[in-house]
Amino acid sequence: MAAEGGGKEMNEIKTQFTTREGVYKLLTHSEYSRPNRVPFNSQGSNPVKVSFVNVNDQSGNGDRICFNVGRELYFYIYKGVRKAADLSKPIDKRIYKGTQPTCHDFNPLTATAESVSLLVGFSAGQVQLIDPIKKETSKLFNEERLIDKSGVTCVRWVPGSESLFLVAHSSGSLYLYNVEHTCGTTPPHYQLLKQGDGYAVHTCKSKSARNPLLRWTVGEGALNEFAFSPDGKFLACASQDGFLRVFGFDAAELHGTMKSYFGGLLCVCWSPDGRYIVAGGEDDLVTVWSFSDCRVIARGHGHKSWVSVVAFDHCTTSVEDSDPPAEFSGSDEEFHEQIHFAGGRDRANSSQSHLSKRNSTDGRPVSVTYRFGSVGQDTQLCLWDLTEDILFPHLPLSRTRTHTNVMSATSPPATGAASNTTTATASTTNPTNPPGTNDNNTVSSSSGNSGAPSNSLPAPLPRSNSLPHSTGPTGGSTTPNSHMSSKGSSIIDSTFIATGVSKFATLSLHDTRKERHEKDHKRNHSMGHISSKSSDKLNQLSSAARTAKADAAKTLGTLLCPRMEEVPLLEPLVCKKIAHERLTVLIFLEDCLVTACQEGFICTWARPGKVGLLPSQNPTNSPSGTVV
């Protein structure tokens, strides 16, 4: 895909790029692909996906990689930056007929050097449980396609479970399975368990335990991807209807929603501390959503086509103590409100929970730098920094931002569900100030427009770190608070008890703002998802397009979907063309980041200082790629 201007240097594929940490370099000898290294003809095939697992091998080679290319599935020892890849010796290789693998996921709890549990979803709707080390195929779910006939879009093990897993389909349904149960020989019969705005949950009626345990119907159109929060308590779903929906998983309650600027949402990920969600899709944007405030806090524009993957870099997300704020801009009521919410929601189960914790009495907050990346169909890799002028526009800064472009407008109203009060100081190693972990954006700025209505526009901003901010009524959440419902046991537990269904009343979650949702969500602007050639779908195309435009007009400018000028606009730290075909994978590991394109090449990019571990990639040698 030629870059603007058409120059040869603009269209050249980069093999290294520079950030404030140093130089990331492509390790050509660590490239994984099909053994023949021939580019895959990707026309009409499913996206290449990559999964990793660590088997705790005593030899130090504990990482394993799985990837799909067309009808083929490969399983290798992943040597990363340590040694060159040996493609002649896959641990396991499978070629499927009549269907293609679309996604896969390892269970990290059960992985050992002798056995791993790998779930594989397929384009015809089946899900396979295999052990590529023992070369066994233990079970096949939805084998007769009685549960769902549409393709699998995403499969994940439920965090902390050795037997439960969740499967999303292009039908928009989400199914909870137990590996110990069978799928039955007849189509499942369902009973409504719970419903709300844009979703419904059904349990499977059966005299004996069978799969699926639950069926979630989420939005309209395909459910493209879902992601569990770091503590496993919440589930974020990105759908083709353009909505991000965040649920409390056990109680199946809707926590909050967000709408894309237009088109479907294709990918979603959580920050390591669970405070923010980033989504990307057909609007070519990355959108940052606050979990506690249930609102969009920033958008990033750098891609020229659909964004296919977003991921947080847990290694570059840093924590450090900083000095208390020199001043507080806002009312006394808001200050006490911050103190009241200083405890926040306890996310102690998160592996990164230290990012979100602070002693509220010592007066020394922590500063957090959030780094995330995105890849898209424009073959470009973008890296982004979430900085404290975006997260906390009410706090004074000690240095102006350099990589953030804030459009001159008032930010939308926010809720008061804060977690802590933070500020940041300039770091000696970081040209930009790291943000804190506060989710509270209700404090008005010191520029004097705290009393202005939320739709008034102030004068253009001279600096990126002096965001105006207006206070307003709470909105953006469909539940009274961000905590899980305390009404009885979880829905997952109830599915194991035949009589447990009666305990749950069919309820509709009330809305605090009428304009936030419509009863019937239609897909917006993007009709490329319709793959069926049935005449009824074609006849509905024009009416669906008209409804989509009407729905988009109703959500634009609300908390669901702020206008472009109403939220800060991020610029990427790095935006480089790194492949010939569309990019489908971005994974951050401890000493490298991994990308993959639709040609079937999985590339390893060594982090700064890690490149010297490969003899063939000695930093003293002249780089083989373009210096950028």
| Residue extents of the structural domains in the chain | 29-171+173-218, 225-320+366-394+559-577
C-alpha span between 196 and 506 (Å, rounded): 9
To the nearest 5 percent, what fractions of the chain are helix, strand and coil? 10, 30, 60
C-alpha span between 340 and 329 (Å, rounded): 17
C-alpha span between 579 and 44 (Å, rounded): 19
For residue 588, is pLDDT > 90?
A: yes
C-alpha span between 305 and 283 (Å, rounded): 8
Q: What are the φ/ψ torsions at residue 308 (nearest 5 degrees)? A: -100, -30
Distance of CA 59 to the CA centre of its chain: 33
Pseudo-torsion of CA 478, 481, 485, 487, nearest 10°? Answer: -100
C-alpha span between 356 and 350 (Å, rounded): 10
pLDDT for 491:
64
Q: Does domain 29-171+173-218 have CATH number 2.130.10.10?
A: yes
The radius of gyration of the chain's CA atoms, rounded to the nearest angstrom, is 24
> Who has greater pLDDT, 141 or 489?
141
Q: Is 391 helix (H, G, I), strand (E, B) or coil?
A: helix
pLDDT for 10:
61
Does residue 612 contact residue 621 with C-beta atoms inside 8 Å?
no
Comparing 29-171+173-218 with 225-320+366-394+559-577, is the CATH topology the same?
yes
How do residues 445-474 score in pLDDT, each as one tens digit? Answer: 333 333 333 333 333 333 333 333 333 333
CB count, 10 Å around CB of 368? 27
pLDDT classification of 337: cutoffs 50, 70, 90? very low
pLDDT for 552:
65
Of 163, 176, 253, 241, residue with least CA distance to 477: 253
Amino acid, res. 333: E
Of the chain, the end-to-end C-alpha distance in Å amounts to 19
Angle at 348 between CA 475 and CA 588, to 5 degrees: 85
Mean pLDDT, the chain, rounded, equals 74
List the beta bridge partners of residue 382: 374, 575
CATH code matching the domain that covers 225-320+366-394+559-577, chosen among 3.30.565.10, 2.130.10.10, 3.40.640.10, 1.10.150.20: 2.130.10.10
How do residues 28-65 score in pLDDT, each as one tens digit? Answer: 999 999 998 888 876 778 999 999 999 987 777 789 99
Pairing type for strands 592-597 and 583-588 reads antiparallel
User: Picking from 122-131, 225-234, 532-541, which range would have the lowest pLDDT averaged per residue?
Assistant: 532-541
CB count, 10 Å around CB of 144? 14
pLDDT for 458:
37
How many residues comprise the chain?
Answer: 628
Query: What Å distances lie between residue 428 and 20, 313, 431, CA to CA?
Result: 11, 21, 7
Among left, alpha and beta (phi > 0; psi -120 to 50; other), residue 543 is: alpha
